[in-house]
Amino acid sequence: MITIPLSKENFNQVIPIPTLQDLAANSSNSDQQSNNIENDIDYLLHWLSPFWPDNRVFNEPSQRVKSAVRSCLRDESSQLDFVKLYGNSIKPRFFEELSPVLLDDRVLLTEAIDKIKFIKDYYNQYIKYLNLNKLPYDILNRNLNSLFHSILVENKQSKFIKNLTNYLYEMLFGDEKCLHGSVHGYISVLLSIELIDELNSIIIRLSIKQIKDYILATCTKVWDKPLLEEINCWIKSDLFPSFNLIMRLSNFDFSEKYLYDLIKIAHDELVSLRIKEIFGLVVDYPNSYIALSELHQCLSFKFNSHNTGTNISNLSTVINSNINTSEIDSANSLITISNFSSILINNSANSQAYQRAKLVDTFIQLCHEELLHSGANTVNVITCYTSTIKSFLIIDPKGVLLDRVVRPIRRYLKTREDIIIKLVHGLLDQSESNDLLELAQELRNGTKKTVIADDLMDLTWVPDPIDALPDFKKSKMTDIIESLISIFDSKEIFINEFTQLFGERLINLHDYDVKDVTDHLDLLKLRFGENEFTTLDIMIKDIEQSKITNEKINYRNEYSFHSTILSHLYWPTVCENVSHNDSFKLPDTISNQFEKFDKEFAGVKKGRGLKLLPSLGLVRLELSIRNTKLSFEVTPDKASIISLFHDKVDELRLTNIASQLDMQPYVASKAIDYWIKQNVLTETSKGIYKVNE
């Protein structure tokens, strides 16, 4: 740009000569008036010079100068041309004199602001006596301010904004913050040169940084105590007074509305932290109940534009604007008060949707990293699944988020081969050592909920949430046991597993007491249905009938033989799947008692007979060894082997033992090992045994 100095010659071009001649033509003494006008220009230019303060004191204009001002700048057109020429004339000196001072790192920020104030005051005093109309007055002021702005902000070498940021941080948020005194004056100076957007941007960024730092320091992994009220109080009493200082000096005094936005930012930042911690929150449930509840409060908050007014800022959207607030001087875009209103209103719902989606994606990702892999323990996955249900129903009672996050866990559980066994045992075991005790308690505390087949008949029906998946059904998720069962296509596999498990318990009963089994069965019928356990009902009836039959037979004959009589069609795992390797020949003392019992049974149950399963049952026996009587309760294979040593002191080989009993050598060796551990038998040489006398 070409610089035009404010000389008399150029000034005459601003105040056109024809205009001067016109004034002279209307007077009888035109030469004198022309000379007066020439003198007016000289007086005005002399008073205005030098155009740079050069640390000199402002020269109050004389009456003659004031008259010259009125003469030379008598109309708005002349004033507009003058201010353009005046601004163009001082610009070179501005950059020449001011730039080195404001861009010098050795100059303190406060010294630079003092220099700005001195120059601004110097020109303001001149402007005051120029008697400019509003339009030229505003133009000249804006031109001066733009010169400051071009040096302080637009110049790439300038570190003024960075230094100002650091200064405001120390004054407003530092350990020894100062909300009064000189900081007010410095801010006022910067506002006078229209750095309002820069100041607002700095204070907003600093406030957000303070919020982020506070949330990280006070809320990280703090899940067992309320924090929202503490956060709100900190913003009101500590953060907001510093934030509001610049807003009030900037004439943006909407205290309640800005306070509301700062609180909303803090809540959003807490949500961001909890999203990162979500897997730990779920695993730590119920200890994390309070943190989950506050996460629900933040996610379910509904933005109300009436709370903020039409001029409120979009401070809450800054969190999601990808501004790196850890390096507050690195962002180029300004966060200004004037561009906030529409963004906040339009983005609040989107921000909430973003947070919900981010929460789901993060949890699923962490599940795959921490849990859903081949090295995971099935019980741990089930435990996490139940905690996920309870945790996400706190976060989102409608169940939409839950429906999304459990799907990958359900798919994974379906692939685990031991899932059915773990669930069945977990549901039935009431001991404290049961890692799935919660399921056992759930089975006893709750009953199966009635499912309404037709939504039209449900008076409480409401439409599914807008972000629900097409096959969303909350009822499948809220009941934990039902949710686990529904992982599989059919509940038949659960019923079969329960039947097998209880069959094993029934077959090992010694006193025919089936109460524990029937109590469990009643609970299972409530959950699975009354008619789903027909086979197990018959198995229980077999045990009860066995007790009656044994009492009848033993009462008449005083037998010491007690039997469990099974209906072979309903005990497939016992009657049909007993391995042939488990079959062997019983000693005569046992087989003779069975034959007698079988005859008596045929008399009680006409036309029916019994088949002995030698690998099942218990034998009570008493051994006399080393002049001591020892009592044992052992399985039939152990009793059969020790009976071969009765009244014998000779050694027996393992092969002979297996041959006499038609027993697999491996089964025989395991039984012999038992008697060796009991110090009844001893191994004299490899594979040869005798009574340990």
pLDDT in tens, 654-679: 999 899 888 889 989 999 999 999 99
Count of positions (residues) in the chain: 693
When pLDDT is averaged across residues 607-613 and rounded to a whole number, the result is 82
386 near 480, Cβ under 8 Å? Answer: yes
H helices of 277-332, where?
278-283, 289-299
Of residues 602, 539, 547, 545, the one with CA closest to residue 567? 539
Local confidence band at 228 (pLDDT 50, 70, 90 cut-offs): very high
pLDDT attached to residue 223: 96
**CA dist., res. 637 & res. 487, Å (int):** 42
Give pLDDT, residue 343: 39
| Burial of 303 per CB tally in 10 Å (0-12, 13-18, 19+) | middle
pLDDT at site 388: 95
Sign (positive or negative) of CA dihedral 254, 255, 261, 262: positive
521, two tokens: 């069965």
Residue 516 has pLDDT above 50, yes or no: yes
**Residue 317's pLDDT band (boundaries 50, 70, 90)?**
very low
Dihedral (CA of 478, 484, 490, 493) sign: negative
Percentage of the residues of the chain whose pLDDT score is greater than 70 = 77
Q: How far is CA 45 from the centre of its chain?
A: 70
pLDDT tens, residue by residue, 427-480: 988 889 999 998 888 888 865 544 434 444 455 545 555 566 655 565 455 788
662: left (phi > 0), else alpha (psi -120 to 50), else beta?
left
Q: Which class for 496: exposed (0-12), middle (13-18), buried (19 or more C-beta within 10 A)?
A: middle
Would you say residue 280 has pLDDT above 50?
yes
Q: Give the phi and the psi of residue 142 in degrees, each rounded to 5.
A: -65, -40
Task: Find the largest Cα–Cα distance for the chain.
Answer: 165
What CATH number was assigned to the domain covering residues 619-691? 1.10.10.10
- Residue 5 confidence (pLDDT): 56
DSSP 680: S
In whole angstroms, what is the distance from residue 236 CA to residue 244 CA?
10
Q: How far apart are CA 134 and CA 669, in angstroms?
A: 114
Q: Report the pLDDT averaged over residues 101-120.
A: 82
* CA dist list (Å): 139 to 72, 132, 245: 18, 10, 29
Mean pLDDT of 320-332: 41
Structure tokens at 397: 């009672």
pLDDT at 175: 65
Residue 313's pLDDT band (cuts 50, 70, 90) = very low
Query: What are 50-91's pLDDT values in tens digits?
Result: 667 766 667 788 888 888 888 888 888 888 888 888 888 888
- What does the domain layout of the chain look like in residue ranges? 8-154, 352-458+466-489, 493-604, 619-691
Cα torsion angle, 212, 213, 216, 218, sign: negative
pLDDT score recorded for residue 244:
77
Query: What DSSP state is assigned to residue 155?
Result: -
Cβ contact 561:594 at 8 Å: yes
Q: What is the pLDDT of residues 398-410, one digit of tens each?
A: 888 998 999 999 9
Give the best-scoring range by mean pLDDT among 10-14, 190-194, 290-294, 502-506.
290-294
How far apart, in whole angstroms, are the C-alpha atoms of residue 244 and residue 546? 86
Q: Which pLDDT value is given to residue 233?
A: 92
**Which of left, alpha, beta for 687 (phi over 0: left; psi -120 to 50: alpha)?**
left
Q: Please report, in angstroms and rounded to a whole number, the separation of the first and last CA atoms in the chain.
A: 122
Tokens of 59: 């020269």
DSSP strand pairing (681-685 vs 628-634): unpaired
Position 110 pLDDT exceeds 80: yes
Strands 628-634 and 619-625: antiparallel
